[in-house]
């Protein structure tokens, strides 16, 4: 059974996957009177966790209940025994297990990168249940160069002695993504993506084995046509965010997505790559406008 523990402005929700992995989410209650509104499911990127939404989640929780997922192998979710379960279809099953346990029929989603792919797959496999979506710098067509960049660093080992050292190392790796960041910005995002070990070292906050499926020849989602999953988002409030400097979602791909579904809105976030944090003013304004369009019941 799931259990909740109160802390800060959210409660910790734990549940079990079908293959016995204990999973975690943060739940923000939302305002009084929003109980019947479909909640907002926030789903992070490949190497990210619930802290990616530490600013956005309480902001959108002004409007309705928010559930921030931590995929298996990230944050407070347990690591999987089988690394080949670190794939989108398993993440879909994990999230559906939570929705069923919480008796949530209809929901909306904000998904960054991998989280957006999971949202598209849920739209395709759970017809009628997803009633609004934000795809943050992701879509059915992704740039090979950007995917190769991610494959090159994901799962790499190493640790740092202090948060400043970790922030500088993270900045060196991701400087092209956030070129305007100063050391305070890098410290903020490093504390979202890293953790302090019992030995006093700073390491990335995910199971290094999440990279395993990416290294299987012709594995993962290579060659899979995701356009049918994207088209399953037709008829609902849909926001596509694209980082101006993104090497994952090309501008032409974002424009094609917006043209494919008449209700889709494409917003480019200036000065950032893959992926916008959604704390940027342009992203936040677009999300507020999207929230206003969501069904109330």
| Rounded Cα–Cα distance for residues 110 and 89 (Å) | 17
| Neighbour tally for 157: CB within 10 Å | 7
Residues 61-86 pLDDT 10s: 999 999 999 999 999 999 999 999 99
Q: What is the pLDDT of residue 30?
A: 94
Q: What is the pLDDT of residue 156?
A: 80
Q: What is the pLDDT of residue 217?
A: 64
Q: Which residues pair with 268 in a beta bridge?
A: 242
Residues 6+ apart with CB under 8 A from 160: 166, 169, 201, 202, 203
Q: What is the pLDDT of residue 158?
A: 86
Q: Do residues 18 and 93 lie in contact, with contact meaning Cβ atoms separated by under 8 Å?
A: yes
Q: Do residues 131 and 105 lie in contact, with contact meaning Cβ atoms separated by under 8 Å?
A: no
Over 90: is that where the pLDDT of 223 sits? Answer: no
Q: What is the pLDDT of residue 8?
A: 67
Over 60: is that where the pLDDT of 222 sits? Answer: no
| Rounded Cα–Cα distance for residues 44 and 46 (Å) | 7
String of DSSP letters for 150-166? HHHHTT----BSSHHHH
Residues 7-63 pLDDT 10s: 469 999 999 999 999 999 999 999 999 999 999 999 999 999 999 999 999 999 999
Give the gyration radius of the chain's Cα atoms: 18
């Amino acid at each position: 059974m799931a259990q909740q523990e109160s802390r800060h402005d959210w409660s910790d929700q734990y549940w079990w996957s079908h293959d016995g992995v204990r999973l975690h989410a943060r739940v923000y209650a939302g305002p009084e009177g929003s109980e019947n509104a479909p909640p907002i499911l926030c789903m992070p990127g490949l190497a990210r966790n619930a802290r990616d939404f530490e600013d956005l989640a309480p902001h959108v929780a002004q409007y309705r209940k928010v559930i921030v997922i931590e995929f298996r192998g990230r944050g407070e979710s347990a690591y999987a025994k089988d690394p080949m379960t670190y794939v989108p279809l398993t993440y879909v099953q994990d999230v559906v297990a939570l929705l069923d346990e919480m008796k949530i029929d209809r929901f909306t989603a904000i998904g960054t990168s991998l989280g957006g792919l999971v949202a598209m797959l849920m739209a395709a496999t759970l017809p009628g249940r997803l009633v609004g979506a934000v795809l943050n710098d992701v879509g059915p067509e992704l740039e090979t160069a950007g995917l190769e960049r991610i494959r090159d660093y994901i799962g790499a080992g190493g640790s740092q002695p202090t948060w400043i050292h970790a922030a500088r190392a993270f900045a060196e790796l991701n400087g092209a993504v956030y070129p305007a960041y100063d050391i305070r910005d890098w410290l903020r995002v490093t504390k979202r993506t890293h953790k302090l070990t019992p030995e006093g070292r700073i390491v990335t906050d995910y199971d290094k084995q999440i990279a395993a499926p990416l290294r299987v020849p012709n594995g993962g989602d290579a060659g899979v046509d995701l356009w049918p999953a994207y088209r399953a988002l037709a008829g609902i409030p849909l926001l596509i965010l694209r980082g101006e400097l993104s090497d994952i979602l090309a501008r032409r791909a974002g424009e094609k997505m917006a043209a494919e579904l008449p209700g889709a809105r494409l917003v480019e976030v200036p000065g950032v790559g893959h992926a916008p944090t959604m704390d940027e003013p342009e992203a936040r304004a677009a999300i507020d406008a999207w929230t206003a369009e969501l069904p109330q019941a």
